[in-house]
Structure 1
């Protein structure tokens, strides 16, 4: 694969901003919804530099991480070399129909990556193929309904509306990452209906509040849903 991924150019920036602390409300909710992974085969989709993969492996899961960015996977492999956890990393498009042929997993996760994936249909079709019946798929994303606040872009194009589904790049002064890599905005109903179409049943959701500075407890970030975390159960394969 020779494709240059959007995250290749921001690997250093991203890895420096997302360390090994997994106690933030969003990540904690993700791990809570995916449940006990000890002894399970777990797939980490859009794994990036492996932050979530390492958290899963430390919970005694056998982990495979998949990402399209060679630069991000280089970071993940470097950390695996420093602290071997038995994680296998693979560079691939998550929507590639040839992804991991013959593999089966008990659970899959995707942390803040679904909006980076252009082909949602292909990715969910792969996850349904790779997950054992009854397996869990848990993900977290920027809430599709987040309208933004001063300096922070919302979930949808600033020159459009919530119903304007497309790839776009943020322009909020504080949305520095999404200024560079952009995101695919999809409505909440698109996510839910596409998951249902591919044989996933909703089991649990969470809308965790971001950490709030005690000096400004009335932050506008407490007035809107900012993040969405959800878990789905895979149905029997057709």
Structure 2
């Protein structure tokens, strides 16, 4: 089954040099790919699951950590929240978000590294979100700590990211068993922490590198606790797409229902 429009897994190369501007080098490409309202997967899988788990209430304040170009702004404002704050390390993605929502008095957009202490983590928010970014940050404990510190006591956070048990760049693959007529998921590695460089702009001879940080699920759950967040709910999210009719369609449809693409976690601020 096809994957989500995140990072094309093209070639392996040396890790990119450390950057404090997040996805700035690929911001224009990523903004065009995802757009204002999100990709096909955002619209049909990621955003509905996020809103369901977050259950935003009228008058609440919500912060979106690693907000990118602001795909959550409109859906959250439509629920009646009083204040939306978006934080992202990429100035260019923040500018893209501001070009769409910057004139709304209920919206505040900030350029800041989610893994570093910042004034935005001020304990004033009722809820927090982090979509498709947990695997993009090098220090999940630091990010989770900042998410927790951005919340009021008992505040809730929802994080959605690529499922670490089934979606690992270059280490997980689809296969076809002709004898049993089933599509299966093959994993070459899982238990090791992996920093995997990914080349964007597929089709070009050269492209910018981003880094995918694979962490086993147990490490991520422990990092949440170390950061001051306790998981209270979990949903595994499956692809809504189905293949075209053909000799493999039945097996592919079954696989789409059995192997989740994303995982969504709801956590509460501890203490």
TM-score range, shorter chain: 0.7 to 0.9
CA distance in 1, matches of 2:161, 2:215: 11
Q: 1:40 to 1:73 in 2, by over 3 A?
A: same
Q: 1:172 to 1:87 in 2, by over 3 A?
A: closer
Q: CA deviation at 1:214?
A: 5.2
Quick one: which of 63, 66, 77 aligns to 1:57?
77
Q: Name the TM-score, length of structure 1 as normaliser.
A: 0.82
Greater strand fraction, Structure 1 or Structure 2: 2
Q: CA deviation at 1:64?
A: 0.5
Answer whether contact 1:26 1:210 (CA < 8 A) is retained.
Answer: no
Corresponding residue number in structure 1 for 2:225: 196
Aligned 1:39-78 pairs, distance under 5 A: 39-61=59-81, 62-78=83-99
- Where does the alignment leave 5 or more consecutive residues of structure 2 unmatched? 1-18, 176-186
Matched, 1:13 2:29: yes
Q: Of the two, which has the highest radius of gyration?
A: 2
Quick one: which of 119, 124, 128 aligns to 1:108?
128
Corresponding residue number in structure 2 for 1:161: 189
Answer whether contact 1:208 1:228 (CA < 8 A) is retained.
Answer: yes
CA distance in 2, matches of 1:217, 1:27: 27
Answer whether contact 2:123 2:152 (CA < 8 A) is retained.
Answer: no
CA distance in 2, matches of 1:29, 1:144: 18
CA distance in 1, matches of 2:251, 2:218: 30
Quick one: which of 218, 224, 227 aligns to 2:262?
227
Q: CA deviation at 1:125?
A: 1.5
Q: CA deviation at 1:97?
A: 1.7
Q: Name the TM-score, length of structure 2 as normaliser.
A: 0.73
Q: 1:133 to 1:11 in 2, by over 3 A?
A: same
Q: 1:88 to 1:203 in 2, by over 3 A?
A: same
Q: 1:101 to 1:163 in 2, by over 3 A?
A: closer
Q: CA deviation at 1:120?
A: 1.3
CA distance in 1, matches of 2:105, 2:164: 34
Answer whether contact 2:26 2:200 (CA < 8 A) is retained.
Answer: no
- Where does the alignment leave 5 or more consecutive residues of structure 1 unmatched? 152-157
4+ runs of 1 displaced by more than 6 Å? Answer: 171-174
CA distance in 1, matches of 2:232, 2:76: 20
- Give the secondary structure class of the aligned counterpart of 1:163: coil
User: What is the aligned length?
Assistant: 224
CA distance in 2, matches of 1:226, 1:150: 12
